[in-house]
Amino acid sequence: MWIVFLGPPGAGKGTQANRLIEFLGIPHLSTGEVLRQVVRDQTAESQLVANFLDQGLLVPDELVMKVVLEILQSPKYERGVLFDGFPRTIVQAEQLDAFLRGMGKRIDVVLNLEVEESELIRRMLSRSKKEGRHDDNHATIRSRLRVFHDQTAPLIDYYDWNGLVEHIDGMRSSDEVFADIQNRIIKRQTPSQAMH
């Protein structure tokens, strides 16, 4: 299955994504993780990418698409992917659609994890203590939330138009959210997808 996981920063996508890939047996592609690795690898692009991450701004589409499409060439991703934090702009979504179309595939479902803003801020600040993520500070969190509303939230309409979106209430316990996600996925699986 080809799944897009949408939701604001701090909504708990990472946690749910890890459970979901185990359940479905498909790989996870988190562009946030991929880009943090680009920074660690100290390539020619590292400093540029680090500046965007530290400001809570989106890395330019062209660079993100280059990295993602390169990763998707690997046979590991032939049978499906759980995209987490990607696409984040309409341009990225259109280019992903074009890429999948070229392979005779398409997005099967979009999970939209919904959490109230005050709870998002609380979760990100608590995560910053546990994981020490550079971009989990007040100023960057505000900027990431603004970027989400301005650039990523429009994707909900983009995918809704095709009837692909499942709205998930993320204000519940992790187990309740996961059970809900599992049910929505099962409902949308074709018989051959369910067999894997």
Q: Which residue has the tokens 């989990």?
A: 136
The residue annotated as part of the active site, out of 19, 79, 105, 133, is 133
Q: Quick one: angle between helices 46-55 and 31-40, nearest 10? A: 130
Number of residues that bind ligand ADP (CB under 6 A): 18
Residue 16 binding ligand ADP, by CB under 6 A: no
State yes or no: is 88 an active-site residue: yes
Q: Which stretch binds ligand ADP (CB under 6 A): 54-62, 69-77, 174-182, 187-195?
A: 54-62
Q: Which residue from 108, 90, 109, 85 is spatially nearest to 167, judged by alpha carbons?
A: 109
Distance (Å, whole) CA 62 – CA 60: 6
Measured CA to CA, the distance from residue 27 to residue 22 in angstroms comes to 9
**144 catalytically annotated:** yes
Cα gap 60→92, rounded to integer Å: 10
CA 118 to chain centre: 21
Interface residue with ligand ADP among 6, 9, 21, 107 (CB under 6 A) is 9
By CB under 6 A, is residue 32 in contact with ligand ADP? yes
Question: Which residue among the candidates 36, 127, 184, 188 is catalytic per the annotation?
Answer: 127
82 scored as a contact of ligand ADP (CB under 6 A): no
DSSP SS3 for 50: helix
Annotated active-site residue 133? The verdict is yes
Known catalytic membership, residue 127: yes
58 binding ligand ADP? (CB under 6 A): yes
Q: How far apart, in whole angstroms, are the C-alpha atoms of residue 69 and residue 71?
A: 5
Catalytic site includes residue 106: no
Active site (catalytic) residues: 13, 88, 127, 133, 144
Residues that bind ligand ADP (CB under 6 A): 9-10, 31-32, 35, 52-53, 56-59, 64, 85-86, 88, 92, 135, 144
